[in-house]
Amino acid sequence: MANCDDDSDPVLPGSGGIPEQSDSFQTSYGAALDNVYVGQTAADLPGEFPFTRGIYPEMYRRQLWSMRQYAGYGSARDSNQRVRYLLREGQTGISIAFDLPTQIGYDSDDDAAAGEVGRVGVPISTIDDMASLLDAIPIESVSVSMTINSTAAILLAMFVVVAEERGLNPAKLRGTLQNDVLKEYVARGTMRFALDPSMRLTTDIVAWCNTWMPDFHAISVSGYHIREAGSTAVQEIGFTLAHAIAYVESLVRRGLAVDDFADRFSFFFAAHSKVFEEVAKFRAARRLWAEILRNRFDARLDRSCKLRFHTQVAGSTLAASEIDNNIVRITIQALAAVLGGTQSLHTNARDEAISLPTQEAARTALRTQQIIAYESGIADVADPLGGAPLIESLTSEIADKAHELIREIDELGGAAEAIKAGFPQAAIREAAYRTQVRLDDGRQVMVGVNRFVDKDHEPDQIVQKSATDDTCGRIKYLQEYRSRRNKDELESSLRKLRTTAGSAKNMMPAIINCVRAHATLGEICTSLESVWGRFQTDST
């Protein structure tokens, strides 16, 4: 079992390494930034339970957060080129965006995929697509994050088989799989199957990785999409931790000891522009999760209680008008994430409100992180805002309100039952409505949108130059791919998959076997659907 306290892995895999300025943590006038926590109790120190002030004593002085820019569009080859460009420019981890057909489980030539192939992410239908996406990328040394949920098991299987074909041991691979299906029913909507079999698949992945890929974060419980759907900061934390509780309970029921898998859990949050509220939110989440693991699940090891999280600045706050204003918003939100102690960060591009990021805008987004890391001095001190009366008060208030929300969900029977009852969905809709009303009547200001609007400003027309829409070429490729397979081997693997889906066995070995037999993503999903049925909007 990997130890996240180990010197070789102090934060999420693929982190930025020792800061270059680490030998001179001092002010411009030569004062050393050391011993700033002298005289405080252990619970008030970074790296000490309940980790309100950070999960490591030295935080970024020891190792910077992972600069993990989200990328994927057009084709596997296009996306590969963008990822390799970002790595050359200093990105320290890979984060892959998949298109909607891939997220829901349709091959690119399925009628349901028409018009969506490669639009908001990379299309992956086959093991060859995955190999092309990862071509010349050193996955043995760079961690790979995949934002995928309903079809997470299939994409992970493809990742594993690509590694095997390169002669790599999957047990040595590092990265993160989002694999958080509960929030799909709450806030996002890319679910393929009903909630119960989806939960089974999610926990199958975590259990399998616990044995076979111990350095891999097999789940990243996401509050980001909950916040993007319109929730408050309290709801983002409360609903996310309630979902995490449901996953832990499911794994414990399967016979796994919490201390054997909890340190492989990670989280994913949004960063908005109210800096002090966001910093307090991150601190409150760490405190709450530590207390939940220790008091509710009897976790004995400190490393099990550390909430590790990735942050993305808020796409919902970007404006299509005067897009240069978005650079300022992104910078403020990134500062909030770093001040709040994130382990990994994606900064959006200025033009994302009107198109996929251009290469220039993607570079500027990455440079924003690098300037914060190496020029601002924020990384010189762990939890630099901690101790301020406002921050401490907000942290306690958010933690208390989120705890109350978790209690309400417990009374409904837990996260899954609350979702079936529509509780979180209704709460988020109400919060989103109230925010929109404030924007509409001007009580909530958005510069360049509802106040300080330059009426003479020409609309921005930046459009990402993406791959030519080669639908016919994609269809031809898939036809040829299917024609050269061993049909007996393929049918045998899909038959075993259906049998496994109807049993209590872990699904991952059967899915990996299908990928080795060159089954497509859509064929695997169709086989599972034949056993589990398709998600219906009137029932989860």
- Structural domains for the chain: 52-441 (3.20.20.240)
Give the mean pLDDT per block of 10 residues along the chain (540 residues). Answer: 33 41 66 71 87 95 92 93 94 94 97 93 97 97 96 98 97 96 96 96 97 96 98 98 98 96 96 98 98 98 97 96 96 98 97 91 96 94 94 98 98 97 97 96 95 83 55 90 97 98 97 98 98 78
Give the integer Cα–Cα distance in Å for 238 and 415.
11
In this prediction the pTM is 0.92
Q: What is the pLDDT of residue 469?
A: 58
Q: What is the DSSP string of 392-422?
A: HHHHHHHHHHHHHHHHHHHHTTSHHHHHHTT
Q: Is 382 helix (H, G, I), strand (E, B) or coil?
A: coil
Q: What is the pLDDT of residue 461?
A: 63
Q: What is the pLDDT of residue 20?
A: 45
Q: Which two tokens stand for residue 444?
A: 């909530």
Give pLDDT tens digits for 199-208: 999 999 999 9
Exposure b/e, 251-284, CB count within 10 A at least 16 = b: beeeebebbebbbbbbbbbbbbbebbbbbbbbbb
